[in-house]
Amino acid sequence: MSTGGAQSAPGRRTGLIGAQVVRWVIPVALLLAFVGYAGAWVDHKAAGLVITGLDLGEYVKFLTPVRSGEITLWREGFYLPLLAVSLTASLIAFRVELRYGWLVRAGLLILAIVAALNLLPPAWTPPRMMTGEFRQQAIALVVCLAAMAFSPLLALLPRKAIAVIVAILSISAALIPVRQFFTVLPAIGELYHQAPAPGWGVFLGAASLLALAGATLWFGWSKHFAA
């Protein structure tokens, strides 16, 4: 019996260390995902020609192949990283198992609000948000702000349910915008009269979202996260 206990002790220690790592990977991945999304997806030495993830949802509307229907996109898919970051921050801010202090919780809620507000288009007005063009963004904004407002109650949801929701959101937000970005990149290259390389924001954002998905799945199923 004592031998079995001695053998299991290193495993418990490893699991607890892993839990502590995951505890901090989640908020760091959220922050980096937002930074990557707001960073350069198409870089250029002229600042005015830099395209960020934040720009793409509006920018693609003016590309000739998109306007002509030659390229079909789910335009709102470019906003999935904002949805994933905002909702995840609200869902995990008050999780008892993660034991975040009030400073971290406040930071997560601020991030949730900032990400949600970036769903608003330029020069928006309430009537404009109700049009068909922006209805999905308006719904996503309301959902994100409601989740932030009720985040202490959302912390009562089952841990595995939270992990599955966040993983689905994060993986979708990592794959769909990136796939669509590479679809329109040749059209952007035609405007630039050169083949632009993907910027650092694409890779940082996608990698951070995938790391977030992995960390939350660990959180959901690890026995080392006890309330």
Q: How far apart are CA 154 and CA 149, in angstroms?
A: 10
Residue 10 domain flag? no
Give pLDDT, residue 185. 92
Residue 87 domain flag? yes
Q: How far apart are CA 204 and CA 209, in angstroms?
A: 9
Give pLDDT, residue 221. 87
Q: How far apart are CA 92 and CA 169, in angstroms?
A: 14
Six-digit token string for 91: 């869902």
With vertex at residue 135, the alpha carbon angle to CA 117 and CA 39, rounded to the nearest 5 degrees, is 40
Six-digit token string for 121: 């288009």
Q: In the predicted model, what is the mean pLDDT of residues 102-120? A: 96
Number of neighbouring beta carbons within 10 Å of residue 160: 12
Residue 193 domain flag? yes
Residue 8 domain flag? no
Is the confidence at residue 62, as pLDDT, over 60? yes
How does residue 222 score in pLDDT terms, banded at 50, 70 and 90? confident
Residue 215 domain flag? yes
Residue 7 domain flag? no
Share of the chain above pLDDT 70, in %: 91
Higher-pLDDT residue of 94 and 10 is 94
Backbone phi, then psi, for 185, in 5-degree steps?
-60, -40
Q: In the predicted model, what is the mean pLDDT of residues 28-32? A: 97
Give pLDDT, residue 3. 47
Give Cα 113 to chain centroid, integer Å: 13
Residue 161 domain flag? yes
From the list 223, 74, 90, the residue with the least C-alpha distance to 155 is 90
Q: How far apart are CA 74 and CA 65, in angstroms?
A: 14
Q: How far apart are CA 6 and CA 1, in angstroms?
A: 9
> Alpha helix locations (H) across 69-199?
80-92, 102-117, 126-129, 135-149, 151-154, 159-192
Give pLDDT, residue 4. 47
Q: To 10 degrees, the CA torsion angle through 166, 87, 62, 41?
A: -60
Token pair 């192949």 in the structure block, residue: 65
pLDDT digits (tens, 9 = 90+) for 143-188: 999 999 999 999 999 999 999 999 999 999 999 999 999 999 999 9
Domain that holds residue 101: 24-221
Domain count of the fold of the chain: 1
199: Cα within 13 Å, side-chain hemisphere:
21
Residue 12 domain flag? no
